[in-house]
Amino acid sequence: MNAAGDTRPVVSFGEMLLRLSPPAAMPLSRTRSLDLDVGGAEANVAIALAGLGRPTRMLSVLPESPLGRRAVAALGEAGVDTDHLVRADGRLGLYFFEPPSGPIGGRVTYDRAGSAFVDAEPGDIDFAAALDGACLLHMSGITPALGPSGVALARAAVLAASKAGVPVCFDGNYRANLWDAWDSDPRTVLTELVNEATILIGNHRDISLLLGQTFSGDGPDRRREAAEAAFAAFPKLELIASTARHVDSATAQRLAGRVDLRASHWQTDEIRIDPVVDRIGTGDAYAAGVILRWLEGGSAQDMAKSGLALAAMKHGIAGDSISVTRAELEAFDPAGADVSR
């Protein structure tokens, strides 16, 4: 952990995407217009941390095109360092998000094959330069799920972090559709990457995938059993952060935050979020809140509460990411949504 005055940057590594969404209650197959937003799990964490006053760097590969420049601009607007972005030929990956409507759930459709990031090789990226002076590397399981090239990029990232003495935060972010699209072995690949992690963002289901075992308890007991198994399997692991979600409907949900350390743990009470404006990116917001307090030497309770607050706030914001100030985070009250005057 680091002191609150530490100004070393967090480096986020992963693919950036453009998100295209039809108007609410309009299926993608019938829409005549699309809203554009910049997205990507790792970029979402960088944007959130930058808003909270933490220096952040984004490491990715973007096309030299108007869409690539829009992605760079979104990072710059949020205060994220873009000096280590790699520009290349190719395209920017897209995804289409149809918001939930009434009894119809939300749906994501990917169009990211052959993107500049997917086609990149480890030698195209100067990981050592990007990690110079960094306090943490944040990455996720989305990168290796993209295919053999993604696996190579992820391996190169954790190797560079190890050489630089930079701890790794790894968000499982398991995407079955991406892994199933090629001849993959997610358990082997993810186990190799998590073996280098200090922080794991993931729940008992992610740990079950990694370890090939099930956990018999219910609720918090099952999560603690899973966490203890993960700590035993991965010697570098110090912290596991997760959320517990109950979906009452597409627009009304309950959420709790949890942090497990080797010697202790903390799970928050559930808070009800109604209405849910946009669920996309809420896990990234939770990760950012946990990382923020971990960097400041906070307790498991501090990390879980800040992660939950940021995740809850993101449910009320359209788009992939959240950018709020530290004062806004500190002032958040899930019980009160009155007008601030």
For the beta carbon of residue 14, count every other beta carbon within 10 angstroms: 29
Instruction: Establish whether 284 is a catalytic residue.
Output: yes
Instruction: Determine, yes or no, domain membership for 52.
Output: yes
116 phi and psi angles, rounded to 5 deg: -60, -35
Instruction: Determine, yes or no, domain membership for 332.
Output: no
Q: How do beta strands 10-13 and 56-59 pair?
A: parallel
The string of pLDDT tens digits covering residues 177-236 is 899 999 999 999 999 999 999 999 999 999 999 999 999 877 899 999 999 999 999 999
The total of structural domains in the chain comes to 1
**Bridge partners (DSSP) listed for residue 244:** 256
Instruction: Determine, yes or no, domain membership for 3.
Output: no
For the beta carbon of residue 25, count every other beta carbon within 10 angstroms: 11
Which of the residues 37, 206, 260, 284 is marked catalytic?
Answer: 284
CA dist 198 and 142 (Å) reads: 18
Q: What is the rounded average pLDDT of the residues 71-91?
A: 97
Burial of 169 (0-12, 13-18, 19+ CB in 10 A): buried
Instruction: Determine, yes or no, domain membership for 171.
Output: yes
The string of pLDDT tens digits covering residues 84-93 is 999 999 999 9
Q: Look at the chain and count its residues.
A: 341
Across 117-174, the runs of DSSP E, i.e. the strands, are 136-140, 168-171
Tell whether the model's pLDDT for residue 250 goes beyond 90. Answer: no
* pLDDT interval class at 334 (50, 70, 90): confident
Instruction: Determine, yes or no, domain membership for 334.
Output: no
CATH number, domain with residue 124: 3.40.1190.20
Tell whether the model's pLDDT for residue 171 goes beyond 80. Answer: yes
> Which pLDDT does position 4 carry in this prediction?
56
Whether the Cβ atoms of residue 167 and residue 136 lie closer than 8 Å to each other: yes
User: What's the domain range around 301?
Assistant: 10-327
Instruction: Determine, yes or no, domain membership for 5.
Output: no
Instruction: Determine, yes or no, domain membership for 101.
Output: yes
Instruction: Determine, yes or no, domain membership for 113.
Output: yes
CA dist 238 and 233 (Å) reads: 12
